[in-house]
Protein backbone atom coordinates (compact mmCIF):
# COMPACT_ATOMS: atom_id res chain seq x y z
CA UNK A 1 0.00 0.00 0.00
CA UNK A 2 1.26 3.50 -0.89
CA UNK A 3 0.07 6.79 0.64
CA UNK A 4 1.46 10.14 -0.63
CA UNK A 5 2.77 12.54 2.02
CA UNK A 6 1.16 16.02 2.24
CA UNK A 7 4.42 17.62 1.12
CA UNK A 8 4.75 15.30 -1.87
CA UNK A 9 8.46 14.57 -1.28
CA UNK A 10 7.84 11.12 0.19
CA UNK A 11 5.19 8.45 0.08
CA UNK A 12 4.30 6.03 2.83
CA UNK A 13 4.64 2.35 1.94
CA UNK A 14 3.31 -0.57 3.95
CA UNK A 15 4.53 -4.14 3.58
CA UNK A 16 6.02 -6.97 5.65
CA UNK A 17 9.51 -7.88 6.81
CA UNK A 18 10.87 -10.80 8.84
CA UNK A 19 10.97 -9.73 12.49
CA UNK A 20 14.75 -10.28 12.78
CA UNK A 21 15.40 -8.17 9.68
CA UNK A 22 13.23 -5.32 10.93
CA UNK A 23 15.02 -5.45 14.29
CA UNK A 24 18.51 -5.48 12.74
CA UNK A 25 17.58 -2.58 10.47
CA UNK A 26 16.40 -0.51 13.41
CA UNK A 27 19.51 -1.26 15.48
CA UNK A 28 22.00 -0.68 12.65
CA UNK A 29 20.38 2.57 11.57
CA UNK A 30 20.57 3.82 15.17
CA UNK A 31 24.21 2.74 15.47
CA UNK A 32 25.14 4.66 12.31
CA UNK A 33 22.82 7.61 13.02
CA UNK A 34 20.93 7.06 9.75
CA UNK A 35 17.17 7.49 9.25
CA UNK A 36 15.52 4.13 8.62
CA UNK A 37 13.72 5.51 5.57
CA UNK A 38 17.03 6.60 4.04
CA UNK A 39 18.59 3.21 4.79
CA UNK A 40 15.74 1.39 3.05
CA UNK A 41 15.87 3.74 0.08
CA UNK A 42 19.61 3.18 -0.28
CA UNK A 43 19.11 -0.58 -0.01
CA UNK A 44 16.50 -0.58 -2.77
CA UNK A 45 18.78 1.45 -5.04
CA UNK A 46 21.66 -0.99 -4.49
CA UNK A 47 19.38 -3.99 -5.01
CA UNK A 48 18.05 -2.64 -8.30
CA UNK A 49 21.60 -1.95 -9.48
CA UNK A 50 22.67 -5.51 -8.66
CA UNK A 51 22.39 -8.43 -11.03
CA UNK A 52 19.71 -10.02 -8.86
CA UNK A 53 21.89 -13.01 -7.93
CA UNK A 54 21.37 -12.66 -4.18
CA UNK A 55 20.55 -15.24 -1.52
CA UNK A 56 16.85 -15.82 -0.98
CA UNK A 57 15.52 -14.78 2.43
CA UNK A 58 12.89 -16.69 4.38
CA UNK A 59 10.03 -14.20 4.61
CA UNK A 60 7.46 -16.59 6.08
CA UNK A 61 5.76 -15.13 9.14
CA UNK A 62 6.79 -11.57 8.27
CA UNK A 63 5.50 -8.76 10.48
CA UNK A 64 3.91 -5.46 9.45
CA UNK A 65 6.39 -2.76 8.45
CA UNK A 66 6.10 0.74 7.02
CA UNK A 67 8.40 3.54 5.88
CA UNK A 68 8.55 6.70 3.76
CA UNK A 69 10.26 6.46 0.36
CA UNK A 70 10.88 8.90 -2.51
CA UNK A 71 7.92 9.05 -4.93
CA UNK A 72 8.00 6.27 -7.49
CA UNK A 73 10.65 4.14 -5.79
CA UNK A 74 8.12 1.64 -4.46
CA UNK A 75 6.54 1.30 -7.90
CA UNK A 76 9.98 0.79 -9.44
CA UNK A 77 10.73 -1.91 -6.85
CA UNK A 78 7.52 -3.70 -7.77
CA UNK A 79 8.43 -3.57 -11.42
CA UNK A 80 11.92 -4.97 -10.83
CA UNK A 81 10.50 -7.76 -8.65
CA UNK A 82 8.10 -8.68 -11.46
CA UNK A 83 10.97 -8.75 -13.95
CA UNK A 84 13.01 -11.00 -11.63
CA UNK A 85 9.92 -13.14 -10.97
CA UNK A 86 9.93 -12.81 -7.23
CA UNK A 87 7.41 -11.55 -4.64
CA UNK A 88 7.62 -7.92 -3.60
CA UNK A 89 8.32 -8.88 0.03
CA UNK A 90 11.34 -10.90 -1.14
CA UNK A 91 12.73 -7.95 -3.08
CA UNK A 92 12.24 -5.68 -0.08
CA UNK A 93 13.88 -8.18 2.27
CA UNK A 94 16.86 -8.58 -0.04
CA UNK A 95 17.19 -4.80 -0.31
CA UNK A 96 17.28 -4.38 3.48
CA UNK A 97 19.70 -7.29 3.87
CA UNK A 98 21.97 -5.80 1.20
CA UNK A 99 22.05 -2.47 3.02
CA UNK A 100 22.92 -4.21 6.28
CA UNK A 101 25.67 -6.18 4.54
CA UNK A 102 27.25 -3.04 3.08
CA UNK A 103 26.86 -0.93 6.24
CA UNK A 104 28.69 -2.73 9.02
CA UNK A 105 28.11 -1.94 12.67
CA UNK A 106 30.74 0.34 14.23
CA UNK A 107 33.49 -1.49 16.09
CA UNK A 108 32.60 -2.26 19.71
CA UNK A 109 33.66 0.30 22.28
CA UNK A 110 36.25 -1.15 24.69
CA UNK A 111 34.93 -1.45 28.23
CA UNK A 112 36.38 -3.05 31.31
CA UNK A 113 34.81 -6.49 31.70
CA UNK A 114 32.20 -6.43 34.45
CA UNK A 115 31.36 -9.86 35.82
CA UNK A 116 28.70 -10.13 38.52
CA UNK A 117 28.78 -13.49 40.31
CA UNK A 118 25.26 -13.92 41.62
CA UNK A 119 22.74 -16.27 43.17
CA UNK A 120 20.52 -15.37 46.10
CA UNK A 121 20.85 -18.89 47.52
CA UNK A 122 23.52 -19.03 50.21
CA UNK A 123 26.15 -21.75 50.23
CA UNK A 124 26.41 -22.29 46.47
CA UNK A 125 29.96 -20.93 46.38
CA UNK A 126 29.64 -17.44 44.91
CA UNK A 127 32.65 -16.27 46.88
CA UNK A 128 34.71 -19.33 45.91
CA UNK A 129 33.99 -18.75 42.23
CA UNK A 130 34.52 -14.97 42.39
CA UNK A 131 37.85 -15.26 44.22
CA UNK A 132 39.07 -18.14 42.05
CA UNK A 133 38.15 -16.35 38.83
CA UNK A 134 39.87 -13.16 39.99
CA UNK A 135 43.04 -15.06 40.87
CA UNK A 136 43.04 -16.88 37.53
CA UNK A 137 42.73 -13.54 35.72
CA UNK A 138 45.45 -11.78 37.71
CA UNK A 139 48.22 -14.41 37.90
CA UNK A 140 50.87 -14.24 35.22
CA UNK A 141 53.21 -17.13 35.94
CA UNK A 142 53.15 -20.01 33.48
CA UNK A 143 52.02 -22.95 35.55
CA UNK A 144 53.19 -26.49 34.96
CA UNK A 145 50.29 -28.42 36.44
CA UNK A 146 51.58 -31.58 38.04
CA UNK A 147 48.94 -34.27 38.02
CA UNK A 148 48.72 -37.96 37.33
CA UNK A 149 48.95 -39.24 33.78
CA UNK A 150 45.77 -39.02 31.71
CA UNK A 151 44.85 -42.69 32.05
CA UNK A 152 45.30 -42.55 35.81
CA UNK A 153 43.21 -39.40 35.98
CA UNK A 154 40.41 -40.96 33.97
CA UNK A 155 40.44 -44.02 36.19
CA UNK A 156 40.41 -41.90 39.36
CA UNK A 157 37.42 -39.87 38.18
CA UNK A 158 35.55 -42.68 36.40
CA UNK A 159 31.91 -42.80 37.44
CA UNK A 160 31.92 -39.40 39.08
CA UNK A 161 29.73 -37.82 36.42
CA UNK A 162 32.44 -35.78 34.68
CA UNK A 163 32.45 -35.44 30.92
CA UNK A 164 35.49 -36.35 28.83
CA UNK A 165 36.10 -32.65 28.30
CA UNK A 166 36.23 -32.06 32.04
CA UNK A 167 38.47 -35.08 32.63
CA UNK A 168 40.81 -33.77 29.93
CA UNK A 169 41.61 -30.90 32.29
CA UNK A 170 43.56 -33.47 34.32
CA UNK A 171 45.90 -34.60 31.58
CA UNK A 172 49.61 -34.72 32.29
CA UNK A 173 51.96 -31.71 32.01
CA UNK A 174 49.28 -29.19 31.07
CA UNK A 175 50.63 -25.65 30.93
CA UNK A 176 48.40 -22.68 31.77
CA UNK A 177 49.95 -19.27 31.16
CA UNK A 178 48.34 -16.72 33.43
CA UNK A 179 46.27 -13.93 31.93
CA UNK A 180 48.11 -11.17 33.79
CA UNK A 181 45.10 -8.83 33.92
CA UNK A 182 44.42 -5.95 36.28
CA UNK A 183 41.52 -7.11 38.43
CA UNK A 184 39.25 -5.44 40.97
CA UNK A 185 37.35 -7.87 43.18
CA UNK A 186 34.36 -6.26 44.90
CA UNK A 187 33.00 -7.82 48.09
CA UNK A 188 29.35 -6.84 47.61
CA UNK A 189 28.12 -9.35 50.19
CA UNK A 190 27.46 -7.88 53.69
CA UNK A 191 28.60 -11.16 55.23
CA UNK A 192 32.09 -10.38 53.99
CA UNK A 193 33.18 -13.95 53.27
CA UNK A 194 35.41 -12.79 50.42
CA UNK A 195 37.20 -10.24 52.57
CA UNK A 196 37.64 -12.87 55.28
CA UNK A 197 38.83 -15.56 52.87
CA UNK A 198 41.62 -13.36 51.56
CA UNK A 199 42.71 -12.33 55.06
CA UNK A 200 41.87 -8.65 54.58
CA UNK A 201 40.54 -6.27 57.26
CA UNK A 202 36.85 -5.42 57.26
CA UNK A 203 35.81 -1.81 56.86
CA UNK A 204 34.57 -0.35 60.15
CA UNK A 205 30.84 0.26 60.49
CA UNK A 206 31.38 4.01 60.94
CA UNK A 207 34.00 4.33 58.20
CA UNK A 208 33.46 5.19 54.51
CA UNK A 209 32.14 2.16 52.61
CA UNK A 210 30.76 1.04 49.27
CA UNK A 211 27.20 1.15 50.63
CA UNK A 212 27.61 4.75 51.88
CA UNK A 213 28.96 5.89 48.52
CA UNK A 214 26.09 4.12 46.74
CA UNK A 215 23.58 5.82 49.03
CA UNK A 216 25.19 9.21 48.46
CA UNK A 217 25.68 9.88 52.16
CA UNK A 218 29.38 10.59 51.59
CA UNK A 219 30.29 13.77 49.75
CA UNK A 220 34.05 13.67 50.26
CA UNK A 221 36.77 11.19 49.44
CA UNK A 222 36.53 8.37 46.92
CA UNK A 223 35.72 4.69 46.98
CA UNK A 224 39.19 4.29 45.49
CA UNK A 225 40.58 5.06 48.94
CA UNK A 226 39.02 1.84 50.26
CA UNK A 227 40.75 -0.51 47.81
CA UNK A 228 43.36 -2.94 49.12
CA UNK A 229 45.97 -4.72 46.99
CA UNK A 230 46.48 -8.44 47.64
CA UNK A 231 50.11 -8.77 48.61
CA UNK A 232 51.07 -11.94 46.78
CA UNK A 233 53.92 -12.10 44.28
CA UNK A 234 51.85 -14.49 42.18
CA UNK A 235 49.58 -11.58 41.23
CA UNK A 236 52.27 -8.94 40.88
CA UNK A 237 50.14 -6.16 42.40
CA UNK A 238 47.39 -6.69 39.82
CA UNK A 239 44.71 -8.05 42.18
CA UNK A 240 42.83 -5.40 44.18
CA UNK A 241 39.91 -5.91 46.55
CA UNK A 242 37.16 -3.55 47.69
CA UNK A 243 36.44 -5.04 51.15
CA UNK A 244 33.05 -5.50 52.75
CA UNK A 245 31.44 -3.49 55.52
CA UNK A 246 28.61 -4.65 57.76
CA UNK A 247 26.54 -1.60 56.78
CA UNK A 248 25.80 -3.39 53.50
CA UNK A 249 23.08 -5.27 55.41
CA UNK A 250 21.17 -1.98 55.23
CA UNK A 251 21.96 -1.31 51.57
CA UNK A 252 18.42 -1.96 50.27
CA UNK A 253 17.03 0.58 52.76
CA UNK A 254 19.83 3.05 52.08
CA UNK A 255 19.25 3.22 48.31
CA UNK A 256 15.51 2.45 48.15
CA UNK A 257 14.52 6.10 47.72
CA UNK A 258 17.10 6.84 45.03
CA UNK A 259 15.30 7.71 41.81
CA UNK A 260 17.77 5.58 39.81
CA UNK A 261 18.56 3.04 42.50
CA UNK A 262 19.38 0.35 39.94
CA UNK A 263 22.31 2.54 38.78
CA UNK A 264 23.82 3.19 42.23
CA UNK A 265 26.51 0.51 41.99
CA UNK A 266 27.52 1.69 38.54
CA UNK A 267 27.78 5.31 39.67
CA UNK A 268 30.37 4.28 42.26
CA UNK A 269 32.37 1.74 40.24
CA UNK A 270 32.39 3.35 36.80
CA UNK A 271 35.09 5.91 37.71
CA UNK A 272 37.37 2.99 38.62
CA UNK A 273 36.97 1.08 35.37
CA UNK A 274 39.81 2.81 33.53
CA UNK A 275 42.22 1.31 36.09
CA UNK A 276 41.23 -2.32 35.49
CA UNK A 277 40.78 -4.93 32.79
CA UNK A 278 38.23 -6.92 34.79
CA UNK A 279 35.90 -6.01 37.65
CA UNK A 280 34.38 -9.02 39.44
CA UNK A 281 31.52 -8.45 41.88
CA UNK A 282 30.74 -11.09 44.52
CA UNK A 283 26.98 -10.58 44.73
CA UNK A 284 24.76 -10.59 47.82
CA UNK A 285 22.61 -13.61 48.78
CA UNK A 286 19.34 -11.78 48.17
CA UNK A 287 16.83 -10.70 45.55
CA UNK A 288 16.60 -7.14 46.85
CA UNK A 289 17.34 -3.72 45.44
CA UNK A 290 21.06 -4.27 45.90
CA UNK A 291 20.89 -7.26 43.56
CA UNK A 292 18.99 -5.11 41.06
CA UNK A 293 21.95 -2.72 41.09
CA UNK A 294 24.31 -5.64 40.48
CA UNK A 295 22.26 -6.89 37.53
CA UNK A 296 22.11 -3.39 36.04
CA UNK A 297 25.89 -3.01 36.40
CA UNK A 298 26.39 -6.22 34.42
CA UNK A 299 24.27 -5.02 31.48
CA UNK A 300 25.64 -4.68 27.98
CA UNK A 301 26.42 -1.01 27.46
CA UNK A 302 26.01 0.96 24.26
CA UNK A 303 28.18 -0.53 21.52
CA UNK A 304 29.76 -3.04 23.93
CA UNK A 305 30.75 -6.39 22.46
CA UNK A 306 28.32 -9.20 23.38
CA UNK A 307 29.67 -11.35 26.20
CA UNK A 308 32.21 -8.76 27.31
CA UNK A 309 30.26 -8.34 30.55
CA UNK A 310 27.39 -10.14 32.22
CA UNK A 311 26.34 -12.47 35.02
CA UNK A 312 28.07 -15.67 36.09
CA UNK A 313 25.86 -17.95 38.17
CA UNK A 314 27.23 -20.58 40.58
CA UNK A 315 24.82 -23.41 41.36
CA UNK A 316 24.88 -26.80 43.02
CA UNK A 317 23.75 -30.16 41.74
CA UNK A 318 20.63 -30.31 43.88
CA UNK A 319 16.92 -29.54 43.49
CA UNK A 320 16.84 -26.49 45.78
CA UNK A 321 19.54 -24.83 43.70
CA UNK A 322 17.34 -25.24 40.63
CA UNK A 323 14.46 -23.51 42.41
CA UNK A 324 16.72 -20.64 43.47
CA UNK A 325 18.04 -20.29 39.93
CA UNK A 326 14.48 -19.87 38.63
CA UNK A 327 13.88 -16.99 41.06
CA UNK A 328 17.12 -15.30 40.02
CA UNK A 329 16.32 -15.82 36.35
CA UNK A 330 12.94 -14.15 36.85
CA UNK A 331 14.61 -11.16 38.51
CA UNK A 332 17.12 -10.76 35.68
CA UNK A 333 14.43 -11.09 33.02
CA UNK A 334 12.19 -8.57 34.78
CA UNK A 335 15.07 -6.11 35.06
CA UNK A 336 15.81 -6.41 31.36
CA UNK A 337 12.21 -5.54 30.54
CA UNK A 338 11.80 -2.77 33.11
CA UNK A 339 15.08 -1.00 32.31
CA UNK A 340 15.19 -1.94 28.61
CA UNK A 341 18.64 -3.48 28.88
CA UNK A 342 20.43 -6.62 27.73
CA UNK A 343 22.23 -8.73 30.33
CA UNK A 344 24.48 -11.42 28.89
CA UNK A 345 24.66 -14.85 30.52
CA UNK A 346 28.33 -15.78 30.85
CA UNK A 347 27.53 -19.27 32.09
CA UNK A 348 26.73 -21.60 34.97
CA UNK A 349 29.33 -23.08 37.31
CA UNK A 350 28.34 -26.20 39.23
CA UNK A 351 30.14 -25.99 42.56
CA UNK A 352 30.78 -28.43 45.43
CA UNK A 353 30.10 -31.43 43.23
CA UNK A 354 30.58 -34.96 44.57
CA UNK A 355 29.02 -37.88 42.70
CA UNK A 356 29.26 -40.01 45.86
CA UNK A 357 26.23 -38.12 47.12
CA UNK A 358 24.11 -40.23 44.82
CA UNK A 359 21.56 -40.11 42.05
CA UNK A 360 20.01 -36.75 42.99
CA UNK A 361 23.40 -35.09 42.52
CA UNK A 362 24.40 -36.87 39.30
CA UNK A 363 20.98 -36.36 37.71
CA UNK A 364 20.97 -32.69 38.72
CA UNK A 365 24.37 -32.23 37.09
CA UNK A 366 23.00 -33.72 33.89
CA UNK A 367 20.01 -31.38 34.09
CA UNK A 368 22.34 -28.37 34.30
CA UNK A 369 24.25 -29.70 31.30
CA UNK A 370 21.06 -30.01 29.28
CA UNK A 371 19.96 -26.44 30.05
CA UNK A 372 22.14 -25.16 27.17
CA UNK A 373 21.34 -21.47 27.79
CA UNK A 374 23.06 -20.35 29.88
CA UNK A 375 25.64 -23.02 29.21
CA UNK A 376 27.50 -24.87 31.93
CA UNK A 377 31.16 -23.82 31.75
CA UNK A 378 32.67 -25.59 34.72
CA UNK A 379 32.26 -28.21 37.45
CA UNK A 380 34.17 -27.63 40.68
CA UNK A 381 34.50 -30.74 42.81
CA UNK A 382 34.09 -30.70 46.56
CA UNK A 383 37.73 -31.14 47.50
CA UNK A 384 39.79 -30.12 50.50
CA UNK A 385 42.11 -27.59 48.84
CA UNK A 386 39.57 -24.76 48.73
CA UNK A 387 38.61 -25.24 52.39
CA UNK A 388 42.28 -25.32 53.36
CA UNK A 389 42.95 -22.14 51.38
CA UNK A 390 40.15 -20.38 53.29
CA UNK A 391 41.52 -21.61 56.61
CA UNK A 392 44.94 -20.24 55.66
CA UNK A 393 43.49 -16.89 54.47
CA UNK A 394 44.98 -17.38 51.01
CA UNK A 395 43.77 -17.37 47.43
CA UNK A 396 43.30 -20.88 46.05
CA UNK A 397 45.71 -19.94 43.25
CA UNK A 398 48.42 -19.30 45.81
CA UNK A 399 47.66 -22.11 48.23
CA UNK A 400 47.10 -24.92 45.72
CA UNK A 401 47.96 -23.68 42.21
CA UNK A 402 48.24 -27.22 40.80
CA UNK A 403 44.97 -28.49 42.27
CA UNK A 404 42.11 -29.70 40.13
CA UNK A 405 39.94 -26.89 41.48
CA UNK A 406 42.51 -24.27 40.42
CA UNK A 407 42.68 -25.72 36.93
CA UNK A 408 38.92 -25.52 36.55
CA UNK A 409 39.04 -21.89 37.67
CA UNK A 410 41.58 -21.15 34.95
CA UNK A 411 39.43 -22.90 32.36
CA UNK A 412 36.44 -20.78 33.42
CA UNK A 413 38.59 -17.65 33.11
CA UNK A 414 39.68 -18.62 29.60
CA UNK A 415 36.05 -19.26 28.65
CA UNK A 416 34.68 -15.86 29.59
CA UNK A 417 37.58 -13.37 29.63
Res. 169 pLDDT band, cuts 50 70 90: very low
Report yes or no: 211 and 248 within 8 Å, Cβ to Cβ. yes
* Beta-ladder partners of 174: 145
Q: What is the pLDDT of residue 153?
A: 46
What is the spatial order of strands in the sheet that 2-4 belongs to? 2-4, 11-17, 63-69
- CB-count exposure of residue 215 (10 Å: 0-12, 13-18, 19+): buried
Tell me the pairing of strands 143-145 and 174-176.
Answer: antiparallel
pLDDT band at 372 (very low <50, low <70, confident <90, very high): confident
SS3 209: coil
Q: Among 230, 224, 288, which residue's Cα sits nearest to residue 254?
A: 288
Are the beta carbons of 330 and 365 closer than 8 angstroms? Answer: no
Q: Nearest-CA neighbor of 313 among 383, 361, 374, 371? A: 374
Please tell me the least confidently modeled range out of 141-145, 203-207, 246-250, 386-390. 141-145
**pLDDT at site 392:** 84
Are 153 and 164 in contact, with CB atoms under 8 Å apart?
A: no
pLDDT band at 308, cuts 50/70/90?
A: very high
pLDDT at residue 51 above 90? Answer: no
- Decide which of 281 and 317 is more confident: 281
Q: Is the pLDDT of residue 386 over 90?
A: no
Give the per-residue pLDDT at 7: 57
Q: Is the pLDDT of residue 155 over 80?
A: no
**Arithmetic mean of pLDDT, 362-386:** 83
- What 3-state class would DSSP assign to 141? coil
pLDDT in tens, 93-131: 999 999 999 998 877 778 999 999 998 777 778 898 999
pLDDT above 90 covers a percentage of the chain that reads: 48
Beta strands in 143-257 (DSSP E): 143-145, 174-176, 183-187, 228-229, 239-242
* Residue 144 binned pLDDT confidence (cut-offs 50, 70, 90): very low
- Helix residue spans in 4-106 (DSSP H): 19-32, 36-49, 73-83, 88-102
Residue 133 pLDDT exceeds 70: yes
Give percent of the chain with pLDDT exceeding 70: 89
Give the model confidence (pLDDT) of 233-260 as tens digits: 889 899 999 999 988 888 989 998 898 9
Give the per-residue pLDDT at 176: 55
Q: How far apart are CA 245 and CA 153, in angstroms?
A: 43
What does R_g of the chain's alpha carbons equal in angstroms?
A: 26
Q: What are phi and psi of 140, to 5 degrees?
A: -130, 5
Residue 67 β-bridge partners: 13
Ranked by mean pLDDT, the top range of 162-171, 356-365, 406-415 is 406-415
Nearest to 318 by CA among 159, 120, 124: 124
- Whether this prediction's pTM lies above 0.85 is answered by no
User: What pLDDT, on the 0 to 100 scale, is given for residue 5?
Assistant: 53
Say whether the peptide bond before residue 374 is cis (omega within 30 degrees of 0): yes
Phi, psi angle pair for 58, to nearest 5°: -70, 110
Predicted confidence band of residue 149 (pLDDT cuts 50, 70, 90): very low
pLDDT in the model for residue 6: 54
What's the CA gap between 159 and 162, in Å, rounded? Answer: 8
- φ/ψ bin of 168: left (φ > 0), alpha (ψ from -120 to 50), beta (otherwise): alpha
The Cα 402–Cα 409 span in angstroms is 11
* pLDDT higher at 308 or 27: 308
Domains of the chain by start residue, with CATH: 2-102 (1.10.1220), 113-416 (3.40.50.300)
Q: How far, in Å, CA of 65 to CA of 17, rounded?
A: 6
pLDDT higher than 60, residue 330: yes
Of 393 and 5, more confident: 393
Contact 141, 98 (CB under 8 A): no
What does the pLDDT read at residue 171? 46
What's residue 274's pLDDT?
A: 93
Strands (E), 235-339: 239-242, 278-282, 310-315
* DSSP letter assigned to residue 245: B
Amino acid sequence: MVTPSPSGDREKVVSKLPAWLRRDLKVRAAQLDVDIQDAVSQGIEMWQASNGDLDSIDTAGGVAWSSWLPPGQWAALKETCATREMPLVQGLAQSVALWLHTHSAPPPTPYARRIVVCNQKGGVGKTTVAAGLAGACAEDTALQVLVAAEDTARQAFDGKGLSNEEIDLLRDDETHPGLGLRVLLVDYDPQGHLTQQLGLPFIGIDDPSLAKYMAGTLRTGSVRDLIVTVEDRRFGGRLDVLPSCADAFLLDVMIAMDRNRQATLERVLEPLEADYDVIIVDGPPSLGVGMDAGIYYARRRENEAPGNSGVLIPVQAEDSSGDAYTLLRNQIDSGQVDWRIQVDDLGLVVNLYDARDGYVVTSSLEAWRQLKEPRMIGVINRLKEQREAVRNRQSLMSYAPSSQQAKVMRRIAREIV
